[in-house]
């Protein structure tokens, strides 16, 4: 229904739950979003330049701190790139450990995301449940690496810590628990009306658009496109582990939830298989400080999608150029497409749907350009507004 006047809504950069600052300018006609302008850069720290000023060893520390949720994906990508430049390969046991850590990280990241999605649609019970279960995985991380978030497992030429036999029972017990809980959540999201009403048919991204706009990761897979770096271009020990690439062809938020939940189950299976078939041996090889001249591109499937690192070395102990393309950046054009034609009240869930990093809205100012009137809606008000609409349906 057209109201004849276009209203502009700025979003962010200050926001409630966690996520980074980002700003979106929405143009709405009545309840329908007609244009989206993302404005990023609030989080720009100049990491790529900082890479050039530090040695390769110190850069591992920096790569880890690009992102706190998928920190292991970044270090895996970084160390793989430098290992290729050096012409060394990490020992097989180290590569298995990388797979285990990567899958555990995927499980905790998806759990975190699902909790946030539940929070955005006002289903806080599910949010609290999932975050409680997520602590199981964090406990495993703490046992293996000593830290809950930045595990500092990867180093150039292998991993820094071994997974001992004594740790196995606790890891397996944690995985069993996660499997049980994820199966329960799979049942919940498919039967619970609170989720079905808010997630079905919302934030549609057609397969053709997903490919044209270069969407990555679970977003692409939820549009029915089979694409996963782990399967297409295996790294670490993924070529030795059987697993399925999960896809779903619903193209909406519900499909994205389903894909991520199924990936958690798949992650549990991969981690179990890797724990059982992990060969004995050393976990790292020594590498020289100086890296020979060359260029390399390294790819990793981070929890949010394809992550690309590019490194150029000039024969010294510091890289000449370093470039990081994170999955969220790849998903922004697709996000704009999903939001177009949707309702204002669906903005939080669609934004949260691509990635927790950008679900950043709490306070939004509505500006009517014709009448020059401004007003502000908070997140709870938005939720109430939508609840009323749901009841009228």
Partner 1 sequence: MGLFKWAQTKSPWIIHFNTGGCNGCDIELVAALTPRFDLERFGILLEGSPRHADILVVTGPVTLQVKDRLVRVYEQMPEPKHVIAIGTCAISGAPFNECYNVHGGIDTVLPVDAYVPGCPPKPEAIIDGIVKLIQKTKESEGNGKGK
Q: Counting contacts by CB under 8 A, is residue 168 touching partner 1?
A: no
Q: Counting contacts by CB under 8 A, is residue 57 touching partner 1?
A: no
Q: Counting contacts by CB under 8 A, is residue 201 touching partner 1?
A: no
Stretch that binds partner 1, among 14-22, 195-203, 276-284, 343-351 (CB under 8 A): 14-22
Q: Counting contacts by CB under 8 A, is residue 68 touching partner 1?
A: yes
d(C-alpha 59, C-alpha 291), whole Å:
13
**Nearest alpha carbon to residue 88 among 291, 293, 282:** 291
Say if CB 220 and CB 227 are below 8 A apart. Answer: yes
Of 20, 240, 269, 320, the one binding partner 1 (CB under 8 A) is 20
String of contacts with partner 1 for each residue 342-381, x by CB under 8 A: ---------------x----xx--------------xxx-
Which CB sits closer to partner 1, 208 or 323? 323
Of 3, 37, 45, 180, the one binding partner 1 (CB under 8 A) is 45
Shortest Cβ 201–partner 1 spacing (Å): 27
Stretch that binds partner 1, among 67-75, 198-206, 215-223, 270-278 (CB under 8 A): 67-75
Which CB sits closer to partner 1, 274 or 344? 344
Stretch that binds partner 1, among 28-36, 46-54, 218-226, 340-348 (CB under 8 A): 46-54
Q: Counting contacts by CB under 8 A, is residue 10 touching partner 1?
A: no
Q: Which residues in 99-158 contact partner 1 (CB under 8 A)?
A: 112, 115, 127-128, 131-132, 134-135, 138, 148-150
Which CB sits closer to partner 1, 92 or 152? 152
Q: Counting contacts by CB under 8 A, is residue 53 touching partner 1?
A: yes
String of contacts with partner 1 for each residue 308-347, x by CB under 8 A: ----------------------------------------
Question: Half-sphere exposure (CA, 13 Å, Cβ side) for 57?
Answer: 7
Which CB sits closer to partner 1, 17 or 92? 17
- Structure tokens, 328: 């969220």
Total binding residues toward partner 1, as defined by CB under 8 A:
45
- Structure tokens, 388: 């009323």
**Nearest alpha carbon to residue 230 among 70, 64, 63, 73:** 73
Please state whether 363 falls in left (phi above 0), alpha (psi between -120 and 50) or beta: beta
Shortest Cβ 352–partner 1 spacing (Å): 14
Answer whether the bond into residue 33 is a cis peptide, omega within 30°: no
Stretch that binds partner 1, among 38-46, 89-97, 186-194, 250-258 (CB under 8 A): 38-46
Shortest Cβ 133–partner 1 spacing (Å): 10
Q: Counting contacts by CB under 8 A, is residue 13 touching partner 1?
A: yes
Q: List contacts with partner 1 (CB under 8 A).
A: 13-21, 41-47, 49-50, 53, 61-62, 65-69, 71, 112, 115, 127-128, 131-132, 134-135, 138, 148-150, 357, 362-363, 378-380
């Amino acid at each position: 229904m057209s109201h004849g006047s276009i209203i502009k809504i700025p979003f962010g950069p200050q926001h409630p739950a966690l996520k980074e600052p980002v700003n979106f300018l929405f143009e709405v006609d009545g309840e329908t979003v007609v244009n989206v302008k993302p404005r990023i850069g609030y989080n720009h720290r100049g990491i790529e330049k900082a890479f050039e000023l530090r040695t390769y060893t110190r850069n591992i520390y920096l790569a880890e701190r690009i992102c706190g949720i998928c920190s292991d994906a970044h270090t895996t990508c970084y160390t793989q790139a430098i290992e290729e430049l050096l012409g060394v390969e990490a020992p097989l046991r180290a590569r298995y450990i990388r797979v285990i850590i990567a899958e555990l990280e995927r499980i905790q990241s998806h759990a975190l995301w699902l909790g946030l999605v539940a929070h955005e649609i006002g289903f806080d019970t599910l949010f609290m449940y999932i975050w409680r279960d997520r602590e199981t995985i964090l406990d495993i991380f703490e046992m293996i690496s000593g830290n809950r978030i930045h595990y500092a497992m990867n180093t150039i030429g292998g991993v820094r810590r071994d997974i001992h036999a004594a740790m196995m029972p606790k890891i397996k017990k944690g995985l069993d628990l996660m499997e049980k809980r994820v199966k329960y959540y799979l049942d919940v999201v498919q039967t619970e009306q609170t989720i079905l009403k808010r997630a079905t048919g919302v934030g549609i991204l057609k397969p053709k658009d997903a490919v044209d706009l270069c969407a990555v990761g679970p977003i692409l897979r939820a549009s029915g496109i089979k694409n996963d770096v782990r399967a297409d271009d295996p790294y670490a020990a993924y070529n030795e582990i059987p697993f399925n690439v999960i896809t779903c062809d619903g193209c909406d938020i519900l499909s994205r939830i389903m894909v991520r939940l199924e990936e958690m189950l798949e992650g549990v299976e991969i981690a179990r298989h890797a724990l059982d078939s992990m060969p004995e041996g050393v976990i790292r090889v020594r590498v020289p400080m100086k890296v020979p001249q060359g260029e390399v591109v390294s790819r990793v499937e981070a929890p949010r999608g394809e992550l690309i690192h590019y490194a150029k070395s000039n024969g010294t102990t510091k890289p000449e150029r370093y470039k990081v393309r994170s999955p969220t950046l790849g998903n922004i054009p697709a996000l704009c497409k999903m939001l177009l034609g949707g309702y204002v009240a669906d903005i939080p869930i669609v934004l949260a749907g691509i990635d927790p990093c950008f679900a950043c809205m709490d306070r939004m100012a509505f500006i009517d350009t014709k009448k020059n009137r401004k007003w502000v809606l908070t997140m709870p008000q938005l939720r109430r507004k939508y609840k009323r609409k749901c009841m009228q349906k």
